[in-house]
């Protein structure tokens, strides 16, 4: 009989592959239905009908949609994401540098947001119904209500335009110094922190309150254990599983949220590349970006579930 963790990994891995297959189908069909003509976008408005027809034939745009999807899926399984319509380069060569830039932005925000949000969420749960709890809840609700792009523009207006402390656009080049690179990241990272911290803080508070309402916590309190010992010895270890899951889902949320932030700050990441590819009708590049985003999101969700099972043995037991 297979080890419970191995069985779980196989089940979740299989469901993840099915999810990726469905996402790839939706992505391909969605990009194929984008308004506009890719050949017209490449050649311009002055192209002749004969030239447009020849380019469509060269790019395979005249083939039926199921045939195009199958050819693309076979190439994707072999690591070939196709060739960019606009640049003529392999899509994979364009994606990986931008993916590293996006992951740098998301992880920098996670390093700041996760410890702060988890600490505030735990503190809010332990001080339930106090003034501090209400203040933290009000702050989280206020942050949730502000769209990410609006937060970015507010920070640009204050710290870039009015104060002039940081650049309004996060543009860096190969010869940029370390401090220039840090300055270019401050505003987008701060925006991501503001956008993310509220969700993570509320989820952490809910997870800790759920643990604090358990029978064994009540029993520990009846035995006369101090609140500090009840919290540190009994509550927090059992809240570790949902907190780890929340942390991984927060990183996944950050990877998806960078699309808007990168566009606002003109940051050269995967999200900005995807938005530009849509405007250029560069279908292989849009498809490649969407598949990479989906792969990262599904992988992080798998990691969240796996860590939850790893730290909580009760989740490994089959449900009756």
Fold of 4-34+102-316: MetI-like fold (1.10.3720)
**72-to-75, 82, 187, 199, 302 alpha-carbon distances in Å:** 5, 7, 38, 37, 25
pLDDT in tens, 285-306: 888 888 888 888 888 777 777 7
pLDDT higher than threshold 60 for residue 311? yes
Least confident of 25-34, 154-163, 308-317: 308-317
Residue-wise pLDDT tens digits, 105-153: 888 888 888 888 888 888 887 777 788 888 888 888 888 788 888 888 8
In degrees and rounded to multiples of 5, residue 44 shows phi and psi of 95, 175
Q: Residue 320 pLDDT > 50, yes or no?
A: no
Q: Which residue has the tokens 């206020």?
A: 142
Q: What is the pLDDT of residues 37-70, one digit of tens each?
A: 666 666 666 667 777 677 677 666 677 778 888 8
**pLDDT value for 35:** 67
Q: Residues 216-227: pLDDT tens digits?
A: 777 777 777 776
Handedness of CA 142, 145, 147, 153 (dihedral sign): negative
Residue 21's pLDDT band (cuts 50, 70, 90): confident
CA 42 – CA 61 distance, rounded (Å): 13
Round the average pLDDT of the chain to a whole number and report it: 77
Asked if residue 174 has pLDDT above 60, the reply is no
What is the four-CA torsion angle of 6, 10, 15, 21, rounded to 10 degrees? Answer: 140
Residue 1 pLDDT level (bands cut at 50, 70, 90): very low
Q: What is the residue extent of each domain of the chain?
A: 4-34+102-316
Is the model's pLDDT at 173 over the cut of 60?
Answer: no
> What was the pLDDT predicted at 265?
85
Query: What is the pTM for the complete model shown?
Result: 0.74
Where would I find the beta strands (DSSP E) of the chain?
Answer: none
Which segment of 91-100, 199-208, 237-246 scores lowest on mean pLDDT? Answer: 237-246
- Report CA-CA distances (Å) from 162 to 190, 191, 281: 17, 17, 37
- Cα 217-220-223 angle, rounded to 5 deg: 155
HSE (side-chain half, CA atoms, 13 Å) at 89 = 7
Does residue 13 contact residue 301 with C-beta atoms inside 8 Å? no
pLDDT tens string 192-207? 888 888 878 888 888 7
C-alpha span between 210 and 215 (Å, rounded):
11
Cβ atoms of 300 and 255 closer than 8 Å: yes
């Amino acid at each position: 009989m297979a080890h419970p963790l191995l069985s779980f990994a196989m089940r979740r891995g299989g469901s993840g592959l099915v999810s990726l297959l469905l996402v790839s189908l939706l992505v391909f069909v969605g990009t194929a239905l984008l308004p506009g003509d890719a050949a017209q976008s490449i050649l311009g408005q002055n192209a002749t009908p004969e030239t447009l027809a020849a380019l469509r034939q060269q790019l395979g745009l005249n083939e039926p949609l199921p045939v195009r999807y199958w050819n693309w899926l076979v190439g994707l399984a072999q690591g070939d994401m196709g060739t960019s319509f606009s640049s003529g380069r392999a899509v994979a060569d364009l994606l990986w540098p931008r993916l590293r830039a996006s992951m740098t932005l998301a992880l920098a925000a996670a390093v700041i947001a996760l410890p702060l949000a988890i600490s505030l969420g735990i503190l809010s749960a332990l001080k339930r119904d106090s003034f501090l709890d209400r203040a933290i809840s009000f702050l989280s609700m206020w942050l949730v209500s502000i769209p990410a792009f609006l937060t970015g523009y507010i920070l640009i207006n204050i710290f870039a335009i009015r104060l002039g402390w940081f650049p309004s656009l996060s543009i860096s080049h190969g010869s940029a110094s370390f401090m220039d690179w840090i300055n270019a990241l401050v505003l987008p990272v701060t925006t991501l922190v503001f956008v993310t911290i509220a969700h993570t803080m509320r989820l952490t508070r809910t997870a800790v309150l759920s643990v604090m309402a358990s029978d064994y916590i009540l029993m520990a309190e009846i035995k006369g254990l101090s609140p500090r010992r009840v919290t540190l010895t009994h509550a927090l270890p059992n809240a570790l599983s949902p907190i780890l899951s929340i942390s991984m889902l927060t990183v996944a949320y950050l990877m998806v949220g960078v699309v808007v932030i990168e566009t606002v700050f003109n940051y050269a990441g995967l999200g900005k590349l995807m938005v530009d590819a849509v405007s250029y009708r560069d279908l292989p590049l849009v498809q490649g970006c969407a598949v990479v985003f989906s792969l990262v999101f599904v992988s992080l969700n798998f990691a969240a579930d796996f860590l939850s099972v790893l730290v909580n043995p009760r989740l490994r037991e089959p449900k009756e």
